Amino acid sequence: MTWPAGAIARRCAAAALASALIGAAPAAPRPATHVIVIDRMRFGAAPGALRVGDTVTWVNRDLFRHTATARDGRFNLDLMPGASASIVLRKTGTVAYSCTFHPGMRGQLVIRG
């Protein structure tokens, strides 16, 4: 069987394009784990690069019981001294949180897609 010259060129171009598109697909970032330490009646700095699928762990190194309670109800973690608790981030947005026992303790998570 003989192929016309134009058909061969089109097939080669299509194969090259498909190969380039497959190779160009960016790998999805792996979920990361971020830690926020509670100490001296303060939440540590919130991580800056949070993404959906990441885990955030709060660790209470203080002498007092604390909570990490989202204002919008997404999470409510009760943390005795020495305890830790984690959440997995499920959606984008900004989430303000505080300690229900110590309302002056506040933090904020900014989650990107």
Domains in the chain: ranges and CATH: 33-112 (2.60.40.420)
Q: Are 71 and 106 in contact (CB under 8 A)?
A: no
Q: How many CB atoms lie within 10 A of CB 87?
A: 18
Residue whose C-alpha is closest to residue 99's, from 110, 113, 85? 85
d(CA 76, CA 15): 53
Q: What is the CA radius of gyration of the chain?
A: 24
The mean pLDDT of the chain is 87
Task: Reply yes or no on whether the pLDDT at 48 is more than 80.
Answer: yes
Cα separation of 3 and 8, whole Å? 7
- pLDDT at position 21, please? 47
Percentage of residues in the chain with pLDDT exceeding 90?
Answer: 73
Mean pLDDT of 22-50: 87
Q: Write down the pLDDT at residue 14.
A: 53
Average pLDDT over residues 73-97: 98
pLDDT of residue 37 exceeding 60: yes
pLDDT at 10: 60
pLDDT computed for residue 11 by the predictor: 60
